[in-house]
Structure 1
Amino acid sequence: MGQFYHEFIFPYLGGYGDGSDVNRFFPSLGNHDWHAAGAQPYLDYFTLPGNERYYDFTWGPLHFFALDSDPHEPDGADSSSAQAQWLQSQLAGSTAAWDVVYFHHPPYSSGAHGNTDRMQWPFKQWGAELVLSGHDHTYERIFRDGLVYVVNGLGGSSRYVFKTIVEGSQVRYNDDYGAMLVEASAQQLSFQFINRANEVIDSYQLGGP
């Protein structure tokens, strides 16, 4: 991790270079992190807000909410869990222009893993404007129940095929690796998926003009 992202991590104690003066790296727990008992290596490596398994922070006009979507989460990972109650309360109190929720397992996905039923929470009803996830090694943008869901698992490792296309799937891509560029102002939230050849595969905007 530090080999590639040390300049974003605070505190960074590894040997790959200097860390950041402030933390700019805010991960969410995934299934591989829970392969270790209690996800302890992850919790030891990062210094994050709250209980570090799920937490929130603001950055400019954005309020981010990182969840733990794994079934090993001690506070639960379905819509009636203590974690979900925390999210509902935090979203209700947010005054940010944009509320973005992110976690590992996608609520909806046309990829090999498919939908994660336990994570189909009423995000829109609770106040979220965008939900980001990974797990399936694909890129997909889905519009479902008035909310945009993005699956982006093309940061590395193997690429997955698409299987059953889910309702609301608008863009699907798995030809190459890439990353998202997100730009935000108080009036507009825009994001692109850009592959390694610098091709813009998808572009979407929330808000105006």
Structure 2
Amino acid sequence: MGQYYHAYIAPYRGHYGRGADTNRFFPSLGNHDYHKSPTADPYLAYFQLPGNGRYYDFVKGSVHFFVLNSDVHEPDGVTEHSKQARWLKEKLKESNDPFNVVYFHHAPYSSGHHGPTKRMQWPFREWGASVVLSGHDHTYERLEVRGLPYIINGLGGKNLRYGFPKIYPGSRVRFNKEHGALLVEANEIFMCLRFYSEDGDLIDTLKLQARS
């Protein structure tokens, strides 16, 4: 992790560089973080994050980010009525920021290999989310479910890319030909999310207006 991202992590105690003066790296727990520890101790020891480190929120400019733990090992639960979900609902209610971005690992809706993660199909739109970001499936996909955009970007890491065995209702854009990254830009009025392939091709664009 530090080899590639040490310039964004604070405090950084590794051997690949001096790290950042202010933390700019805000990860979410995934299933691989539990492979060697049922409590994700190495992850929690490595990063110094807000809140309990497993789920938390932070604000950057006009965007309020809400980071969840979608793994079944989460002690505060991963269902719509869990302690974690109640925390999110209250935090979204309190937010006065133009955009509320919720992100976590397992995709609630997906046409990819893993398919939908039903336990994470929370009423995000009703609670005040602007968009939901996730990964897990090694694809790029944008869906719209009950009026809310969901974006999966799992093309930033492992070489293995997944197919789309069963197209989920509401799927708008799908891409798995090569790796890529999602660029998000926002001001007080608009947020623009663009997915680029590693060759620099613009694959998808989503433009959102600030919450009224």
Q: Same fold (TM over 0.5)?
A: yes
Aligned partners of 2:100 and 2:129 also within 8 Å: yes
Alignment partner of 1:46 is 2:52: no
* Match of residue 186 from structure 2: 184
Matches within 5 A, 1:115-194: 115-157=116-158, 158-194=160-196
1:205 is aligned, of 200, 204, 207, to 207
The structural deviation recorded for 1:43 is 0.3
* Match of residue 18 from structure 2: 18
Instruction: Report the residue type matching 2:28 in the other structure.
Output: S
Q: In structure 2, how many angstroms separate the alpha carbons of the residues matched to 1:52 and 1:21?
A: 19
The runs of at least 4 consecutive aligned structure 1 residues that moved more than 3 Å come to none
After superposition, the C-alpha distances for 1:140-171 in whole angstroms (9 at most, x for unaligned) are: 00011010000000001111111110010000
Superposition TM-score, scaled by structure 1 size: 0.98
Instruction: Report the residue type matching 2:125 in the other structure.
Output: K
Superposition CA RMSD, Å: 0.7
Gapped regions of structure 2 (runs ≥ 5): none
Alignment partner of 1:69 is 2:70: yes
Instruction: Report the residue type matching 1:201 in the other structure.
Output: I
* Match of residue 106 from structure 2: 105
Instruction: Report the residue type matching 1:124 in the other structure.
Output: R
Q: In structure 1, how many angstroms separate the alpha carbons of the residues matched to 2:34 and 2:146?
A: 31
Aligned residues: 208
Superposition TM-score, scaled by structure 2 size: 0.97
Q: In structure 1, how many angstroms separate the alpha carbons of the residues matched to 2:60 and 2:194?
A: 19
The structural deviation recorded for 1:18 is 1.7
- Aligned-residue sequence identity (percent) comes to 58
* Match of residue 29 from structure 1: 29
Q: In structure 2, how many angstroms separate the alpha carbons of the residues matched to 1:110 and 1:73?
A: 25
Gapped regions of structure 1 (runs ≥ 5): none
